A and B are shown apart, each in its own frame.
Chain A
Amino acid sequence: MKPAPFDYVRPESLVEACELLAGDEDARLIAGGQTLVPMLAMRLARPAKLIDIMRLPELAGIAAEEGAVVVGATTRQAQAERNSTIKASVPMLARVLPWVGHPPTRNRGTIGGSIANADPSAEIPLVAVTLGADILLATASGPVSVPANDFFIGPMETSIGHGDCVRAIRFPVWPHQRVGVGFFEISARRSDFAFVAAAAQVALDEEGRCVEVALGVGGAADRPLRLDVSSLIGTRLDTGVVTGAVQAAAGNFEAMSDLHASSAYRRRVAVTLCTRALEEARGNAAAIASEDAR
């Protein structure tokens, strides 16, 4: 057996899970286990106790709310990928899910697990930051909501306190008729960690002018970044305008450098992918209206 020994408990309720977690410094939560189990196998993680939250009813389910879709933490990535509410209302999440791992890891891996793991190159945290989602936590003092931008603070590092558990993620839904998304990613091979990923969502009015825009870049910095391209609102997102806005927003953020890619490369690719993502998003939004007109 490769992992070091540990105790395993499967609590009956979220409250019990949080109590167990708070009461033991060396305890860790496990849901899908697609990151934690390899860490255990390589003994990079040696928890004394694993608390299995996968079957807790409080963490399951996908619910449409006023202006948002709330995705339970233990929703498996494959479930979310096939879910019609997510496809219709959070198209950016639906768009990136095929890029998260492989089909067998998506069958076990969870949405909340990817959020809590906070890998800087992960696609689900990128969507959360780009759209301005809220991370809903269960804590000893009750439910807490943290904006995604404040939740991720560094590579595999979040602002979550010991004893707290990610309960759900609240993804905002845009009210506009014509919403399109775009997503591009560069990695060594399909489904490997992204060196750079860019996600964009735009809403167009009847005349094809941009009324709302969100742009984010992942893999390039120590956490996913939302870029300010609000100057694009009111424009027709012509190529020159988009390129200019992206250059201004993504031209000089603090990019990571490692043996795969230098920071200069990451910045250069980020600008290119952000531009492509915005153009794809504009194209998809524009296509919605032409379908309606038919």
Chain B
Amino acid sequence: MKVDLQINGVSRSAEVEPRKTLLDTLRENFRLNGAHAGCEHGVCGACTVLLDGEPVRSCLMLAVQADGYEITTIEGIAPAPGELSVIQDAFCETHGLQCGYCTSGMILAAHALLRRTITPSREDIVEAISANICRCTGYGQIIEAVQFAADRLRKANTPRPHHTAHHGGEHDSPVEGVLEAAEADEPAVEAK
């Protein structure tokens, strides 16, 4: 059967058997190997992709069901070749990955969350990544990475008050390293 997919902003088509999952189609037909085959029955989250912007398990969806949908994989979220998105960069800085197998799914789950809100609570982050299993980090650094990325996005997206700009932008750089910044729960602009 022919399926038409919009993958990372590009129209792609493939001839697939109905029983072929979206995961296998992305990996084998389009060579997008960033979505990982873990359990292949919906438990681990390693195969997470965004379907119309929402995280789904690509192993629990047949490619024929995805016909016509917009799909974003980990390959599609960096701003330019050789660069990292803010979230990807935050995972590196806070050591939010070790073996890397879960990472693409974690980053896409975080990506969907931070597109909805850049002021997530710790509970929001835990809920957003609750479907993704990580056997290395113990999740602490992953949560930190998402908090850190949210903090950076807040600082990037909000106009700064004049006086902070004059004084060299106190809020721009964390005083005592990245973890300090990651702990900031409130938007920086709310500081007087």
Tell me if B109 counts as interface (CB < 8 A to partner A): yes
Q: Are B55 and A54 in contact (CB under 8 A)?
A: no
Tell me if B104 counts as interface (CB < 8 A to partner A): no
Number of interface residues of B (CB under 8 A): 28
Tell me if A70 counts as interface (CB < 8 A to partner B): no
Main SS at interface, chain B: mixed
Q: Could you say which of A1, A52, A102 contacts B20, with CB atoms under 8 Å apart?
A: A1
Q: Are A8 and B48 in contact (CB under 8 A)?
A: no
Q: Are B1 and A102 in contact (CB under 8 A)?
A: no
Stretch at the interface among B56-64, B92-100, B134-142, B173-181: B56-64
Q: How far is the CB of A191 from chain B (nearest CB, A)?
A: 6
Stretch at the interface among A32-40, A160-168, A195-203, A279-287: A32-40
**A6 CA / B56 CA spacing, docked (Å):** 23
A-B contact count (CB 8 A): 85
Tell me if A154 counts as interface (CB < 8 A to partner B): no
Q: Are B17 and A107 in contact (CB under 8 A)?
A: no
With both beta carbons as reference points, the residue of chain B lying nearest to A52 in the complex is identified as B65
With both beta carbons as reference points, the residue of chain B lying nearest to A2 in the complex is identified as B40
* A104 touching B109 in the complex, CB below 8 Å, given contacts A4-B19, A5-B19, A8-B1: yes
Interface residues of A (CB under 8 A from B): 1-8, 10, 30, 33-34, 37-38, 40-42, 50, 52, 54, 78, 98, 101-105, 107-108, 190-191
Interface residues of B (CB under 8 A from A): 1, 17-21, 24, 40-42, 45, 48, 51, 54-57, 59-62, 64-65, 109, 127-128, 130-131
11 A-B interface contacts by CB (under 8 A): A1-B19, A4-B19, A34-B42, A37-B61, A41-B59, A42-B41, A50-B18, A103-B130, A107-B51, A107-B56, A190-B130
